Structure 1
Amino acid sequence: MNTIEIEENLDQLVQDINTGACSLHDFPFRIMEAYSASRNEVAKLRMKYPEALVASDITWPKKLLYRPAVAGQVQNTVASLRASLIGKKGAAAKNAPRFLMSTDGDEFLAVDLKTGETSGFDRLAELPINYDFLQPMFGVERYKPAPETAADVRAARHMAKFHDAIKDANPTWGDEHTHDLNIFMTRILFCMFAEDTGIFPAKLFAKTLDREAMQIDGSTTKRVIEDIFLALDIADKEARRGQGVRSQRIAADFPYVNGGLFRDRTDVPVFNRRARRLLLEAADLHWDQIHADIFGSMIQAIVQTDMRADFGMHYTSLPNIMKVLEPLFLNSLREQLTAAGDNVKALEKLVDRISRIRVFDPACGSGNFLIIAYRELRLIETEAFRRLRDVKRKGQLALADYHTGIKISSFYGIDPVDFACETAKLSLWISQYQMNKKLDEICTTPAPALPLTDAGNIVVGNALRLDWAAVCPPANSFEVYAIGNPPYLGSAYQDVSHKADIRSLFQGKTKSYKDLDYVACWFLKGAEFCSSGATGLAFVSTNSIAQGEQVSMLWPALQRYGVEIGFAYEPFKWTNNASKKAGVICVIISLRRSCLAPKKIFGAAASRTVSNINAYLKDAPNVLIAKRSRPISSLPTATKGNAATDNGNLILDDLSRSQLTAAGVPDTFIKPYKGSSEFIRGLQRWCLWIEDHQIDVALKYPEIRQRLENIRAFRQSAGAQAKQFADAPHRFVHRPHQSGQALLVARVSSERRDYIPAGIEEDGVIINDNAVAVYDAPTWLLSIVSARLHTAWLRAVGGRLKTDYRYSNTLVYNTFPLPALSSDQKDALEEHALNILRAREPYIAHSKTIAWLYNPETMPADLLQAHRDLDNYLETIYIGRPFKDDAERLEHLFKLYARMTKVSATKAA
């Protein structure tokens, strides 16, 4: 169940409370149903707490304790519930609820006893928009992003100023010095972090700069920093002077770092007064307070100046990273940790397993996915070490020093930006140090901070042109996981290089690939990576690759590698990352080699184990919905509306129409002209509609003659199809129009609408190519396209224009699986269609538009009821009862589609 459905269910619950259709006693059961809790579980609780027990508390073990409140006493009621839990022991304590909840029908209050958070409001109507607070009751935790501290933001902003000052002081440094500048910035950052965290003696770097680079004009700063960088790479302090370190004090004071950070001999830029001052000011900041996962992304903004406006907004948030990592491998490790308990062999087996995990992000940026993965693995390993220590203490066994088996060299990445790669390496080192400090708490001999022992395997390059198995080699003894948030880039936003990448990967592997989103390339490379031995992958993507025509383009190519979807997140709105603006709809898809392991679909409120996950992320057969020229069901033919290709000369607004009428042009040549916009927004437009036998009469009017000459000239210089109609400028280029009643279905519609905008148009209306038309349509057909079932099908298999749905006669209408209908059923559906039209009439008569009528916030109750009555009737034709939610609707539709296409193929054979 997705968030839209949860909000709808809660909206309905609020309405029912207000009208008395739902009692306060039934409120918690309706809450459970709204979030799609198990029907059996809800039924058992209803039997345990019948309506007769009006004053009874309702307990859902480990989940909820609910008590209805008398008017104005909600807060006191929750306080009483909290007090009733004090002192509970044994089974009562074991089954203690996660949530306390009460309402009097107006006020609402809930308390999350695990986090201590509360959610309360004076109007119950606010419940739907706060649906996420109760999600943990149904297995979906509310994550908090890693805290963005003032230190993170202040440090990043200060370093941005320092970076600019260095560039100003080195005007001759062009692109050829980009790598040198990136290495320099990374080393400076490490030195400041090291002196604030105990890796170096306190403030060693800052004091050395202040003492050795005394010239305030910055003229000696370059030499001092060159000495420091050189000293940090030479292990033998006695040999440093002989190998180029000029300052005896620097040679003696600085420790050996290793790890490759200071190995390469790169140029150090010259300094001016401002650059020196900014560096000393930066060294005074609290570098020990930064967060490696956030700070790396902030620092990336230093060299990408277009990102600076939103410091702190360029990292993928912790909740979204965990959506990738947890089901991919973290949950399995945590379950193994829980099962191990205090068993030494089981704990040692877990520690060994963790040490043999490789994590690879082929679009790593500054490395925040890798850093979070590293941190979470270290936390699990440290907990295993803690248990081993405690067991050995109890058994009076010799205590061991525990040193991590997780090497940062087991973390791999690719990014085209050199500085991002250097930042990722630095962030991994910082994270390694921070996690070592946590491990030191249980060790008798802490691990030394220096020298660094290894580095992250981060490669600069185009991930789509590199062999992933060469960058991160799969091995039988290792678990290898690919993760990340690759660039999306729809077809319209791709440049020549992006198009070339897509062509190099997909040519010869799928029939059509030119309209694929760029992110599809990462899934193809990932499928190849899995087939070469990788354990699995999980990537964030726009949901376009799991709906519309892209599915039939991409998935045949993926299936060549023998992969399947191991888990998937249903579409969710991305709201926290500035590079993916709020409103982008995302999914997370995990691929693995085909196996018998369980598969999971994660919704907004809960996850469910399923037998299969198809390319549309549904628990349904592996069918690919491709465009069809004719309907799969017994439906009338639908076509795209009429296209003028006229450079605006056949299309008229009110003013143009009035001018033609004033010039004497008869109404027989002017017709109402409608598409999605006109139908939905109630706009009036017109068109010149001239039949072949009317052309001689039409040409007598100079105003028409001039327009047709304009069209002739335009079409002669346009595309091949338009040129064919240059000598018939009065005709629409695409002209399927027929006389009689027609069904109009909007081609583009807001994602917020629960029903597809559609209507019956009278004879004489010209439906344009921004709508789908069914000519001579039976009235009952309006019920089919207006049903929730059809909207669910559109959402699953139709395309999108930004976040709006795109309706297609070939991909949506022609593929929609509809059982054979009897005459009686068609008659009943016709009556439902008429009820919908009747419900609209009084509002349209008062100038209300379809947009207003189908806005979820303003949709009239009688129109909504007419649609719900239709839904209940139509869905009963399918399965004998209404469907539970869109997930169940789609599972059934996909299965029916598979059966119907199999029958069609058999008949064709």
Structure 2
Amino acid sequence: MGAHNTATGASAPVHSAAAQDFIARWSGTTASELATAQSFVIDLCALLGMAKPHPTPEQDYMFERPVTFAHGDGSTSAGRIDCYRRGHFVLEAKKLKAGSHTKGFDDGLLRARSQGEGYARALPAHEGRPPFVLVVDVGTVIEVYAEFSKTGGTYTPYPDPRSHRLQLADLARPEVQDRLRRIWQDPDSLNPARISAQVTRDVSALLARLAKSLESPVAQNRTEQNRTEQNRTEQNRTEQNRTEQKLYHKYSKTQYQQSLIAPEIIASYLTRCLFSMFAEDVELLPKGAFLGLLQTHRNDPATLQQMLRILWADMDRGGFSAALAKPVLHFNGKLFKGAGEDGYSLLLTPEQIDLLIAAAKSNWREVEPAIFGTLLERALDPAERHALGAHYTPRAYVERLVLPTVIEPLRADWANAQAAALVLAHEAAALQGKAMEAKLAEARAEVKKFHHQLCATRVLDPACGSANFLYVTLEHLKRLEGEVVNQLEELGHTQDQLGFEGETVTLQQLRGIELNERAAALAELVLWIGYLQWHIRTRGNTAVAEPVVHNYGNIECRDAVLAWDAQELAYDDADQLLSRWDGTTFKTHPVTGELVPDEAAQVPQWRYVGARKAQWPQADFIVGNPPFIGNKRMRDALGDGYVQALRGAWPEIPESADFVMFWWHHAAAQVTAGQTRRMGLITTNSLTMIFNRRVVQAALDQNTHLEMAISDHPWVDSANGAAVRIAMTALAGGAGDGRLHTVMDERPGEHGETTVEMLTRTGLLHADLSLGANVAKAQPLRANAQIANRGVIPHGAGFIVTKEQAAALGSPSILREYRNGRDLTDAPRGVRVIDAFGFSAEDLRTQYPAVYQWLLERVKPDRDQNPRPKRRDYWWRFAEDQPRMRQSVASLDRYIATGQVSKHRVFQFLDASILPDDKLIAIALDDAFSLGVLSSQLHVCWALALGGRLGVGNDPVYSKSTCFDTFPFPDEDTGLTPPLRERIAQLAEQIDAHRKRVLAPESGNTGLTLTGIYNVLAALREGRALTAKEKTQHTQGLVGVLRELHDELDAAVLAAYGLPATASTDDILAYLVQLNTQRAQEEAQGRVRWLRPDFQNPQNSVQKQELLAQDDQAPEADFDSEKSLSKPEQTKPAQHPWPATLPEQVRAVADALAASPIPLTLSAIEARFKGRGPWKKGLPTLLQTLEALGRAQAVATGGEVAWRG
């Protein structure tokens, strides 16, 4: 089967004479780039039979395609792509000096590659990123780089680092012409994953048929036998339990539920078969050796059985094989062990041998390891075989997590090491003789140092399945290694290639944990096939060292989150085996005809002795796809005993968190401890829900940040092929910004996969996977201090009485009206609360004996058992009396209240006689202006961004410390005027009065609630059609009027802040964060804009406070309250020590350029560092190297050169 037989419309190979004419015409070209590049491309198109580029209104296939670069300082610059074809390639051409590829070092092609990738990233988002970047040294070389995800990732050498560079003479080869023609016509046909996917599907289907035919009757009839056994009489139940216990101790649970041994023997046998098929196709076995045995002995299965036993035993130890009459390599590993065991080689029928022959005829060079393991696992598992034809997880999805988690940080390290080496190479170019060679040796040493780091990098997948994540990681590690080796050669490295088992990337660096034995075995197989594929593709089979396969033991078959000393069957008090539904067996309901759980299909419950947290092997990176089991399904899927042991071992994880969060928390803990650089995991998209989000927030609070996140992405369940929605997150240590990818469009692909288009934004990523202003850095303001407080906590139902009970108690003054959150949003309960604040027990008994007796009988019995001495000893008082809250509202006739947890953020006035519950936030302000500001959409945006969410309804939480204390109210410095203040106050009074009027009992609007009113208001703003119930609420609540009042209020408050009516949520939050910072600076200088100065700062009058603020102001250059918030204050940059090593110096300068909002001159860069020695002399060369690598851009600023990142 050929690798390139799927192209559409490909032209026939060019006659060799035409190719030779082209090569002769362009060899030795010396003209400039501008004079030759377009002619070269036109001639190349003619050679390939492609239309030449031409101007079109769409600018989709042309020379000199204009692009615009957007820079971090808000400026833009123009560029032009030498040749561009939308959805196909960016071509960047140079004409380097003669001999630059054969003598010494030249960074011209590096510059061209960096320019080409920069152009690709600068293309308009709606055009997407082309899959190819072509770098051309006219008349000499064409370098090919590819990035098939088209999301702006790293372009890597295609097809690999050893063969991506096409010399001019290579254009005479038909396969090279075909490759270039496909780049012009159908670039996706060159995607290795696409090429090999069909081969893999076909092979897996054949193996599934064979596996099914090999299953024993025991396996096929096991389900019915289990049901029969479950129907035994109760008298025989105890003996049955004892028998099952013995079976469980003898076999694994998976074996017991399906069949005793057959599936495992079949899986091992077929695994040996398929590795043999691969080995002969890549000529690790003599070509056609395995297929030949199958064909020769097709009609003599008994002989074939013995011949395969002999062959595999010979492959295990190496040497002469009697089965082939030829020597074979020493393969080793676990795969071919156990030649003397039953089932090592199975007796097949001729028809079954035919299936093996058909599979052996497939092109095993092209099998895709990234999906092969998943499909093979389905093929070999009777319970999952029905999903074989279902979709599989596309490689591009896996890469979407692997690249930012593992590869990008390593490539960043490589970029610094490469730049350091190139700096030294540039210095060597100015030297001669031994001095030049010594400097080049230093350059090579920098590259080798990184190569050693790369070969020592460890990657762990703690739920590896059949190793698709590990394989994709391996391939990218090998690609990166290839680039490193190429750089060594360009720097004059003359030693032999790095050895296969020497200093090179090997499978030993990849670790996995997998509970399923079959999947764990397949994982090792997949990794070895992938590793050998890559090695042979890049270096040929002659370089393979023996033993070919090693038993590294890097896939551990065990539980990844729970360890235990012993697993015992659980019995009840009557010595009966505890069991549960197996979670997979269904039956047809006799009435409805629907599938329902089969209660007869039971599996035992287990008790885990010595349960504790499972430990993971040390790893630099953690990446994977843990199991998707929701919190509510955990007990059904895993059993009560397991879940109980798991929760006990991990008490810090909320009980409502999903199963996957145990992996997430464990991986995050490795990052926070500094043992792991970065971790990236797949979770369900419920990651953003509150109980899962708490796990994420806990990690972010430990000096980590989300490097990348996708909150909602299509995925394919590995077991059953079902479409699911997932989230991806990558966590790294330290502070930093991350990238948020948002899926904007989804289209079905050719083979059932979903092609997605994503929008990428950069900034601080929050625990809910949102992006925006860094509201977390907002500081509490003194101006807001002591104003907002939580209500009281009675801690005893006996404190709350009905109106009738209050009347029976004589309605004394200590029985106060009481409100909680639901009283505000729904119909008030009309209850009173016994408030004995300030009373001793004796005083209460003396003055209010009936009330005292009520509490004595209804509160004291419970309080006597309370472990807190204060609550136990002062049983007649609230658990939390909230004296600060009481003091804050003591002098007011009314105050503002809002529910702590509420679907809609609504503020309203309450009479000061009403005592607020803990579920209310009492804001001690009685002016309508403050109510208006708090009720505006601007403050609601702030509260939503800082408050979090809680509960099944994922309702917003209003935290007084984060939402209120940090909120900067408008003042004269933001544009607030007396008329605006009055307008806001009037609108707030109208809104408050309107709601109270329509909700009053005398209105007759039975059933109308505040939540109902704001549900309708939300529907109106969304443009959603109202339901019949909502239409009634709209009429009763006059919601149209309320909407108009809120719209007018929002406009007035925005004007009070100087913001336009069109300000977005991001604009509002960014503005408020900056205003908060400015107010905090004011307060540090002595000016506090008290909300209630007579209460908050009674020792000073307002006039004295204003005078103090004026006297204490810093010089104008340090603080200007009228300064535009959009222009942050410029401060002198901090100086950092000049790093000791060259790669660290490269990183430091590149980071300084990237962090600066403006281009930096040489003197400005020098000012950011301090150190001894002649380090400043090397800066120009270092900057020149960063330019060559596309990490810096030189710009002219006022006659002086500056650089931007």
TM-score by length of 2: 0.46
Counterpart of 2:336 (choices 234, 250, 262) is 262
- 5+ residue gaps in structure 1? 1-34, 46-58, 67-74, 118-131, 239-247, 475-479, 626-630, 641-673, 680-685, 693-719, 721-739, 750-755, 763-770, 842-846
Q: Which residue of 1 aligns with 2:713?
A: 574
Q: Which residue of 2 aligns with 1:500?
A: 644
CA RMSD in angstroms comes to 6.4
Bigger relative contact order (CA 8 A; separation at least 6): 1
- SS class of match (1:482): strand
Given that residues 932 and 1049 in structure 2 are in contact (C-alpha distance below 8 angstroms), is that contact kept between their aligned partners in structure 1? no
| Structure-2 separation of matches of 1:554 and 1:100 | 31
Counterpart of 2:292 (choices 204, 207, 220) is 207
Q: Which residue of 1 aligns with 2:365?
A: 288
- SS class of match (1:526): helix
Q: Residue 414 of structure 1: CA displacement? A: 0.1
Residue 390 of structure 2 is aligned to residue 310 of structure 1? yes
Superposition map of 1:410-421 within 5 A: 410-421=509-520
Given that residues 280 and 289 in structure 2 are in contact (C-alpha distance below 8 angstroms), is that contact kept between their aligned partners in structure 1? yes
Specify the code of the residue in structure 1 equivalent to 2:714. Answer: T
Given that residues 700 and 767 in structure 2 are in contact (C-alpha distance below 8 angstroms), is that contact kept between their aligned partners in structure 1? no
Residue 364 of structure 2 is aligned to residue 300 of structure 1? no
Given that residues 98 and 114 in structure 1 are in contact (C-alpha distance below 8 angstroms), is that contact kept between their aligned partners in structure 2? no
Q: Residue 271 of structure 1: CA displacement? A: 3.6
CA deviations over 1:657-680 (Å, ceiling 9, x no partner):
xxxxxxxxxxxxxxxxx99xxx9x
Q: Residue 429 of structure 1: CA displacement? A: 0.7
Q: Which residue of 2 aligns with 1:226?
A: 309
| Structure-2 separation of matches of 1:886 and 1:583 | 35
Specify the code of the residue in structure 1 equivalent to 2:318. Answer: A
Q: Which residue of 1 aligns with 2:704?
A: 565
- SS class of match (1:149): helix
- SS class of match (1:576): strand
Given that residues 308 and 323 in structure 2 are in contact (C-alpha distance below 8 angstroms), is that contact kept between their aligned partners in structure 1? no
Q: Which residue of 1 aligns with 2:944?
A: 794
- SS class of match (1:249): coil
Residue 407 of structure 2 is aligned to residue 326 of structure 1? yes
CA distance change for structure 1 residues 573 and 250 in 2, over 3 Å: closer, same or farther?
same
| Structure-1 separation of matches of 2:311 and 2:452 | 38
Q: Residue 758 of structure 1: CA displacement? A: 6.7
Given that residues 778 and 966 in structure 2 are in contact (C-alpha distance below 8 angstroms), is that contact kept between their aligned partners in structure 1? no
CA distance change for structure 1 residues 607 and 446 in 2, over 3 Å: closer, same or farther?
farther
CA deviations over 1:327-378 (Å, ceiling 9, x no partner):
4434323443354346322222222221211111111111122112211121
Counterpart of 1:185 (choices 256, 263, 270) is 270
CA deviations over 1:647-695 (Å, ceiling 9, x no partner):
xxxxxxxxxxxxxxxxxxxxxxxxxxx99xxx9xxxxxx9999999xxx
- 5+ residue gaps in structure 2? 1-67, 97-107, 135-147, 156-186, 223-254, 426-442, 564-611, 742-758, 794-820, 833-861, 863-893, 911-918, 999-1013, 1027-1039, 1089-1095, 1097-1205
Residue 197 of structure 2 is aligned to residue 149 of structure 1? yes
Given that residues 421 and 458 in structure 1 are in contact (C-alpha distance below 8 angstroms), is that contact kept between their aligned partners in structure 2? yes
Q: Which residue of 2 aligns with 1:766?
A: none
Q: Residue 206 of structure 1: CA displacement? A: 2.2
CA deviations over 1:838-876 (Å, ceiling 9, x no partner):
9x99xxxxx995565343899999999869747845766
Q: Residue 100 of structure 1: CA displacement? A: 11
CA distance change for structure 1 residues 520 and 219 in 2, over 3 Å: closer, same or farther?
same
Superposition map of 1:503-902 within 5 A: 503-507=647-651, 510=652, 513-527=654-668, 529=670, 534-540=675-681, 541=683, 548=690, 550=692, 564-565=703-704, 567-578=706-717, 584=725, 586-592=727-733, 599-604=736-741, 634=787, 784=934, 787=937, 790-791=940-941, 793-794=943-944, 798-799=948-949, 805-808=954-957, 817-819=966-968, 829=984, 850=1017, 852-855=1019-1022, 869=1051, 872-873=1054-1055, 884-885=1066-1067, 888=1070
Superposition map of 1:42-121 within 5 A: 44-45=75-76, 59-61=77-79, 98=119, 110=127, 115=132
Q: Residue 413 of structure 1: CA displacement? A: 0.5
Q: Which residue of 2 aligns with 1:452?
A: 549
Q: Which residue of 1 aligns with 2:915?
A: none
Q: Which residue of 2 aligns with 1:71?
A: none
CA distance change for structure 1 residues 353 and 742 in 2, over 3 Å: closer, same or farther?
closer
Given that residues 687 and 727 in structure 2 are in contact (C-alpha distance below 8 angstroms), is that contact kept between their aligned partners in structure 1? no
Counterpart of 1:353 (choices 437, 453, 463) is 453
Name the larger-Rg structure.
Answer: 2
Q: Which residue of 1 aligns with 2:214?
A: 166
| Structure-1 separation of matches of 2:388 and 2:921 | 49
Superposition map of 1:363-374 within 5 A: 363-374=463-474
CA distance change for structure 1 residues 235 and 569 in 2, over 3 Å: closer, same or farther?
same
| Structure-2 separation of matches of 1:347 and 1:39 | 31
Q: Residue 446 of structure 1: CA displacement? A: 2.8
Q: Which residue of 1 aligns with 2:573?
A: none
| Structure-1 separation of matches of 2:153 and 2:626 | 32
Given that residues 613 and 649 in structure 2 are in contact (C-alpha distance below 8 angstroms), is that contact kept between their aligned partners in structure 1? no
CA deviations over 1:172-215 (Å, ceiling 9, x no partner):
88144554343333222212222222222233222212222424
CA deviations over 1:481-530 (Å, ceiling 9, x no partner):
222233354422322366335424333xx4x7322232332244335545
Given that residues 424 and 458 in structure 1 are in contact (C-alpha distance below 8 angstroms), is that contact kept between their aligned partners in structure 2? yes
CA distance change for structure 1 residues 757 and 446 in 2, over 3 Å: closer, same or farther?
same
Q: Which residue of 2 aligns with 1:32?
A: none
Q: Which residue of 2 aligns with 1:279?
A: 356
Given that residues 131 and 149 in structure 2 are in contact (C-alpha distance below 8 angstroms), is that contact kept between their aligned partners in structure 1? no
CA distance change for structure 1 residues 178 and 151 in 2, over 3 Å: closer, same or farther?
same
Query: How many residues end up aligned between the 2 structures?
Result: 683
Q: Residue 415 of structure 1: CA displacement? A: 1.0
CA distance change for structure 1 residues 827 and 552 in 2, over 3 Å: closer, same or farther?
farther
CA deviations over 1:616-639 (Å, ceiling 9, x no partner):
8888698999xxxxx998569799
CA deviations over 1:80-121 (Å, ceiling 9, x no partner):
xx9999999999998677269999xxxx9858577489xxxx
| Structure-1 separation of matches of 2:627 and 2:1069 | 28
Specify the code of the residue in structure 2 equivalent to 1:387. Answer: Q
Q: Which residue of 2 aligns with 1:714?
A: none
Given that residues 187 and 262 in structure 1 are in contact (C-alpha distance below 8 angstroms), is that contact kept between their aligned partners in structure 2? yes
| Structure-1 separation of matches of 2:316 and 2:785 | 70
Specify the code of the residue in structure 2 equivalent to 1:818. Answer: F
| Structure-1 separation of matches of 2:1065 and 2:362 | 59
TM-score by length of 1: 0.59
Q: Residue 454 of structure 1: CA displacement? A: 4.9
CA distance change for structure 1 residues 370 and 60 in 2, over 3 Å: closer, same or farther?
same
Given that residues 259 and 453 in structure 1 are in contact (C-alpha distance below 8 angstroms), is that contact kept between their aligned partners in structure 2? yes
Q: Residue 745 of structure 1: CA displacement? A: 8.9
- SS class of match (2:626): coil
Given that residues 366 and 420 in structure 1 are in contact (C-alpha distance below 8 angstroms), is that contact kept between their aligned partners in structure 2? yes
